[in-house]
Amino acid sequence: MLSLFIGIPLLAAIINLLMGMLKKRFTEYFAIAIPLINTVLSIQVLFHTLSSGVIVNRVGGWEDVLGIPIAIFLIADGLSALLLLIINLIVLPATIFSLKYIKDNNLKNKYYSLLLLILAGVSGVVLSGDIFNLYIFLELTLISAYTLVAYDLSKEGLEASFKYQVFGRLGSAFILLGIIFLYFSTGTLNFIDLSRLNIPTHISNMATILFMVGFGIEAGLFSLHMWLPDAYQNAPAPINAISSGILIKIAGIYPIFRIIYNIIGITPEVSNLFLIIGNVSMMVAVLLAINQWDFKRLLAYHTISQMGYVLAAFGLNTSLGLFAGLLHLINHSLFKSLLFLNAGSIEYATGTRNLKKLGNLRQRMPWTYFTNLVGSLSISGIPPLNGFWSKLLIIIASIYSGNYLTAIITTLVSILTLASFTKVLKYAFWGEASSDINLNEIKEVPTSMILPMLFLSLLCALSSLILLNGVSIYFNEIIQNTLLLGRKWSEFILLR
Amino acid sequence: MLIYFLSILLLLIGIYGITTKRNIIKTIIGLTLMEYAIFTIFIVKGYKKDAFPPITGAEIADYVYVDPLAQAMIITAIVIGFATTLLLLSFTVKIYQKFKSLDINDLKDLKG
């Protein structure tokens, strides 16, 4: 069952590449069908995990020999199932958005194949039940992402992709070194085994540092983020939506939390580290963001800043903090991919991303304006939308746990975020256009680009419903049964 | 012990290459050296003296067998390293065609 999530996109990527050479139109509709199938499957998996706890699959059906697991494990607990659904909910609109956005017919089949490989990779990372497979799926995802950043082979694209590759490989080297430390101290790679075995303190400290640096590079945490704005500035907009919406979270943030909480075990020192990195990330990145005039680059710095929120909330190490952090992680994937799609449609319609050149688009592009308004209000935390609730919960959680500084910084950064998105709205949609652009020639983007944006803005509004009494119980249960269990997580899995 | 020392020296040479060299090819050599150092540590750690292949059913007293998983993992990691290096080198060809230079200092279109 679970191997379908990896198998279907992998197989589809190959079929897509070959069939695309023969028949050009085939590749587009085929590429949409795959995330659609996976969405349906992931809803099923989510309901299954909510009712019965955990799904554990041994790929190939290899049973344990003398109590030693030899099969490849795929584990779907609540957290994995939830993230799997979010992955597919972001990839689906991004693929539909690409239909008109990608104009070059000769590159279409390669583009969609790489997109499907990313889908296979991130699903693999989320479901993988041992640490080395996680590394392999991570590499699969990253190699596809490196290529897609320089998809048009422009000068900027090549430079950005080169930077991304050097940083990405440094990161994966650190991760591999961390895996070596864990493997030779315990003799196993399996998550369940690792969290049952006793890891010596000096090994676990070393592994924690190596994983923090390695996955931190992939997640673009502050001070390891140098590749991120460049890569995001040049990638096609749907790829931005995918990489900001899910790739940095699944390839960076999720493994950090899974490994440090469930496998190595969280210590007060590590959660303080999360808190410090989180606070510095959100403060510095938002200050850098305000200065930007390139719409995508501005959004890229906001990605770093919002990831700081998530890390700081997890650093509080209370159940409310974890709840708020995970909620913000999900909300961020929804509104940030929406905003990147907006940037893409502005570029599609006007040919530029420079905010100084744009202006008064509100009349010419009403749908883009409306969805951008939803996204901007959501990221800056205006009440009815999802961003407000998760930020409020982070502030409440930090006050409860006595971290008043975090509460102050969170509020301050929220105001600065609002300021920077007011700038976007003023320069792009209100105000006067510069003489470089002829407003009368600008048309609203085609329907296949409007629909994904509307879908994501609907999700932005709907995901605040997670806090309703009946739904938040399930959401809370997911956190209680995964991250909060700490190293007892293996007992929980084995019981089911 | 000497071999660990040498692998770590190789790792440091790799990191030195990545951080100080301005030529793209030299940066790539640094990256691969660093990865190979990690592979070497992995292989050496998995090695056992006078050990047998891990085949069950053999009737030998004090059956000492090597850990097969370390080698299996390293082969996978080498293949991944090969693919990423190939990708990086093919990008280098494209970079040379566009920029007419392999100096990192000439790659500075992106700022801010």
Sequence-separated (6 or more) residues with CB below 8 Å from residue B64: B48, B50, B51, B52
Q: What is the pLDDT of residues A10-31, one digit of tens each?
A: 999 999 888 888 877 777 788 8
Are A230 and B110 in contact (CB < 8 Å)?
Answer: yes
Are B45 and A143 in contact (CB < 8 Å)?
Answer: no
CA of B95 vs chain A CAs: smallest distance (Å):
6
Fill in the amino acid letter for A162: F
Confidence category of residue B82, pLDDT binned at 50, 70, 90: very high
User: What count of Cα atoms within 13 Å lies in the side-chain half-sphere of residue A390?
Assistant: 33
Residue A197 sits at φ, ψ, to 5 deg, of -80, 160
Q: What is the pLDDT of residues A257-284, one digit of tens each?
A: 989 888 888 888 888 999 999 999 989 9
Residues of B with CB under 8 A from a CB of A: 18, 24, 27, 31, 34-35, 38, 41-42, 45, 67, 69-70, 73, 76-77, 80, 83-84, 87-88, 91-92, 94-95, 98-99, 107-110, 112
Are B35 and A160 in contact (CB < 8 Å)?
Answer: no
For the segment A48-54, the average pLDDT, to the nearest whole number, is: 82
Q: How far, in Å, CA of A393 to CA of A70, rounded?
A: 42
Q: What is the pLDDT of residues A153-192, one digit of tens each?
A: 888 888 889 989 999 999 999 999 999 888 888 888 888 8
Q: B-contacting residues of A 263-292, CB under 8 Å?
A: 291-292
Residues linked to residue A68 through DSSP beta bridges, in sequence order: A65
Please report the pLDDT score of residue A110 as a whole number. 87
Fill in the amino acid letter for A355: L
Confidence category of residue A117, pLDDT binned at 50, 70, 90: very high
Confidence category of residue A395, pLDDT binned at 50, 70, 90: very high
Nearest to A486 by CA among A249, A311, A317, A324: A317
Neighbours of A201 (CB within 10 A): 9
Tokens of A427: 């320069």
Query: Quick check: B62 pLDDT over 70?
Result: no
What domains can be seen in chain B, in order of their start residue? 2-49+65-103 (1.10.287.3510)
Fill in the amino acid letter for A386: N
Confidence category of residue B58, pLDDT binned at 50, 70, 90: low
CB nearest A177 (choices: B38, B87, B107): B38
The per-residue pLDDT of chain A, averaged, comes to 87
Nearest C-alpha in B relative to A168? B84
Q: Is A153 on the interface with B (CB under 8 A)?
A: yes
Confidence category of residue B61, pLDDT binned at 50, 70, 90: low
For the CA atoms of A486, A481, A3, A68, what is the dihedral angle to 10 degrees?
Answer: 50
Q: Is B109 exposed, middle or buried (0-12, 13-18, 19+ CB in 10 A)?
A: middle
Report helix, strand or coil for A4: helix
Q: What separation, in Å, do the N-terminal and C-terminal C-alpha atoms of chain B show?
A: 46
SS (H, E, C) B44-104: HHHCCCCCECCCCCCCCCCCCECCHHHHHHHHHHHHHHHHHHHHHHHHHHHHHHHHCCCEH
Q: Are strands A72-76 and A55-59 parallel, antiparallel or unpaired?
A: antiparallel
From residue A111, alpha-carbon distances to A17, A83, A173, A183, A349 in Å are: 9, 24, 27, 37, 21
Q: How far, in Å, CA of A322 to CA of A480, rounded?
A: 9
Q: How far, in Å, CA of A341 to CA of A94, rounded?
A: 8
Nearest C-alpha in A relative to B80? A139
CB nearest B41 (choices: A156, A160, A180): A180
Q: How far, in Å, CA of A235 to CA of A240, rounded?
A: 6
Residues in B touching A68 (Cβ below 8 Å) = none
Query: Quick check: B29 pLDDT over 90?
Result: yes
Q: Is A36 exposed, middle or buried (0-12, 13-18, 19+ CB in 10 A)?
A: middle
Query: Quick check: A436 pLDDT over 80?
Result: no
Query: Quick check: B53 pLDDT over 80?
Result: no
